């Protein structure tokens, strides 16, 4: 039977001969991602149900990230509950402050994500890991508790939509612009319950970092997961990085696999995109919205806080001054360290930016850059719902790091291509 990559991964995880969309399966979970917001309630529920013990401590990876280092007493209590529990169960993959980073940037970087595996996390953007040819999805606290206790979880096999990204991205246009274009076309429920499979020349050309920006935002279309094929770029990224020497299996969709639909996109003529308030699907080409005054620029998050993103921003900011508050948040300690070694912090400092420790911070309106009523922020994050980064009267404009950096220089939405030689 012809199957998609997603169906093949779930077939193996469920120990079946085959699966098809709509089937309910019990799948073995290879990695459970935990952070300090949704995991403490899961731990509490397990205790309340008298379920002691963890199925396999080595399959759990923990990183506090949303409010780390602890921003206030309440978040410190959450961190403490996580600490105590991790200690009690001997969970060795625990990234403490100093090694902790934004979960979806940290896990792939530290070699916890393998092709062909099933990964769940108590966070809606867990779909990011699909860039590695893995099935990966976000879950609530009860599911998280179940995955921790049993190492398995039920799933309804999703139908797949194939997104064929043709062509070559022009100068100043990035994978963030591609996903904003896709969202603008299909809407916030355009892929409800579906696996979004991304293929095509434009994807093949992308680095792993760039690919993750796309799968990261699958949930913004209501998708259950986003997924991409494994190729040499993937293999090179994984080489020498994987935490266990355990082999991985590469699955590929059969040529005659069944898709619910196939959507083609031409990336050749794509312009830098901005998602206007208050939906990620509210995309506009920069030519339609340039000039809108901003109060803050935010460069960071699981979507665009990786080293490549910081390099792009630094290239534009080099030798220039920012006109508005500009906050740069490297997503993990390794990214932070690398940026430091490359002299990017000098560039940010000289341009007048502030650089923080790795954290989710202001992405979810936590801390480190909250907006006041009436303020506008151009941000490299993934959601611009009402009140997402602070006051319900503030506005968030989603864009690539290049667009955010160029806009920081001018204090208004700006086409980054003007700053590129």
Partner 1 sequence: MSKAHVYKRDHINTDEIIPARYLNTDDEAELAKHCMEDIDAEFVNKVAEGDIIVAGDDFGCGSSREHAVWALRGARVQTVIANSFARIFYRNAIDNGFYLIESPQAAEKINNGDELEIDYKTGRIKNLTAGIDIDFKPLPEFALEIIRAGGLLEHIKTKKR
Dihedrals phi, psi of 26, to nearest 5 degrees: -105, 115
Binding piece for partner 1, criterion CB under 8 A, among 145-153, 167-175, 374-382, 404-412: 145-153
125 binds ligand SF4 (CB under 6 A): yes
360 binds ligand SF4 (CB under 6 A): yes
Choose the one of partner 1, ligand SF4, none that binds residue 382, judging by a C-beta under 5 to 8 angstroms depending on kind: ligand SF4
Choose the one of ligand SF4, partner 1, none that binds residue 192, judging by a C-beta under 5 to 8 angstroms depending on kind: partner 1
Distances (CA, A) of 67 to 18, 70, 86, 136, 375: 42, 5, 18, 24, 22
Choose which of 43, 146, 314, 378 interacts with partner 1 (CB under 8 A). 146
Structure letter (DSSP) for residue 243: S
51 binds partner 1 (CB under 8 A): yes
Nearest one of 307, 79, 264 to 178, comparing CA atoms: 264
- Report the C-alpha gap between 379 and 358 in whole angstroms: 16
- Report the C-alpha gap between 336 and 384 in whole angstroms: 25
For the bound state, the minimum distance from the C-beta of residue 45 to ligand SF4, rounded and expressed in Å, comes to 22
Size of the site for partner 1 (CB under 8 A): 26
Site string for partner 1, 148-187 (x = CB under 8 A): -xx---x---------------------------------
Distances (CA, A) of 165 to 169, 171, 197, 208, 215: 10, 17, 10, 16, 13
Between the CA atoms of 214, 215, 219 and 220, what dihedral angle is there, to the nearest 10 degrees?
0
Strands 118-121 and 325-328, bridge-based pairing: unpaired
352 binds partner 1 (CB under 8 A): no
Distance of CA 195 to the CA centre of its chain: 16
Residues in 292-311 at the binding interface with ligand SF4, rule: CB under 6 A: 301-302
49 binds partner 1 (CB under 8 A): yes
Chain residues binding partner 1 by CB under 8 A are 24, 26, 38, 41, 45-46, 49-51, 124, 138-143, 145-146, 149-150, 154, 189, 192-193, 222, 224
Chain residues binding ligand SF4 by CB under 6 A are 65-66, 102-104, 123, 125, 301-302, 360, 363-364, 381-382
């Amino acid at each position: 039977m012809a199957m998609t990559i997603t169906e093949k991964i779930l077939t193996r995880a469920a120990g079946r001969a085959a699966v098809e969309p709509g089937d309910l399966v019990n799948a073995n979970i290879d990695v459970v991602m935990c952070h300090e917001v949704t995991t403490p309630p899961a731990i509490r529920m397990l205790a309340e149900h008298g379920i002691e013990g963890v199925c396999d401590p080595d399959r759990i990876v923990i990183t506090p990230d949303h409010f780390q280092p602890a921003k206030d007493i309440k978040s410190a209590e959450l961190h403490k509950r996580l600490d105590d529990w991790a200690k009690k169960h001997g969970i060795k993959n625990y990234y403490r402050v100093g090694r902790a980073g934004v979960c979806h940037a940290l896990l792939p970087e530290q070699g916890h994500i393998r092709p062909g595996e099933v990964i769940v996390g108590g966070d809606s953007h867990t779909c990011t890991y699909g860039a590695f040819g893995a099935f990966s999805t976000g879950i609530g606290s009860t599911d998280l508790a179940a995955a921790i206790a049993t190492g398995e979880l039920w799933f309804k096999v999703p139908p797949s939509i194939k997104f064929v990204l043709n062509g070559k991205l022009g100068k100043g246009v990035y994978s963030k612009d591609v996903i904003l274009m896709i969202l603008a076309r299909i809407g916030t429920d355009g892929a409800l319950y579906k696996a979004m499979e991304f293929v095509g020349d434009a994807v093949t050309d992308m680095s792993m970092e760039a690919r993750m920006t796309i799968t990261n935002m699958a949930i913004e279309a209501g998708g259950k997961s986003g997924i991409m094929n494994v190729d040499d770029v993937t293999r090179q990224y994984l080489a020498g990085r994987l935490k266990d020497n355990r082999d991985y299996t590469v699955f590929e969709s059969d040529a005659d696999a069944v898709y619910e639909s196939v959507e083609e996109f031409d990336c050749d003529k794509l312009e830098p995109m901005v998602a206007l308030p208050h939906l990620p699907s509210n995309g506009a080409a920069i030519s339609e919205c340039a000039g809108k005054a901003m109060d803050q620029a935010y460069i960071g998050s699981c979507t665009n806080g990786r080293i490549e993103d910081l390099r792009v921003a630094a290239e534009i900011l080099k030798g220039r001054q920012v006109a508005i508050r500009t906050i740069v948040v490297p997503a993990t300690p390794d990214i932070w360290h690398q940026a430091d070694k490359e002299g990017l912090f000098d560039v940010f400092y000289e341009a007048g930016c502030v650089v923080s420790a790795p954290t989710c911070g202001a992405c979810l309106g936590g801390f480190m850059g909250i907006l006041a009523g009436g303020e506008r922020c151009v941000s490299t994050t993934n959601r611009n719902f009402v009140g997402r980064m602070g006051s319900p009267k503030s506005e968030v404009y989603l864009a690539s790091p290049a667009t955010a950096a160029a806009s920081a220089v001018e204090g208004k939405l700006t086409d980054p291509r003007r700053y590129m030689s």
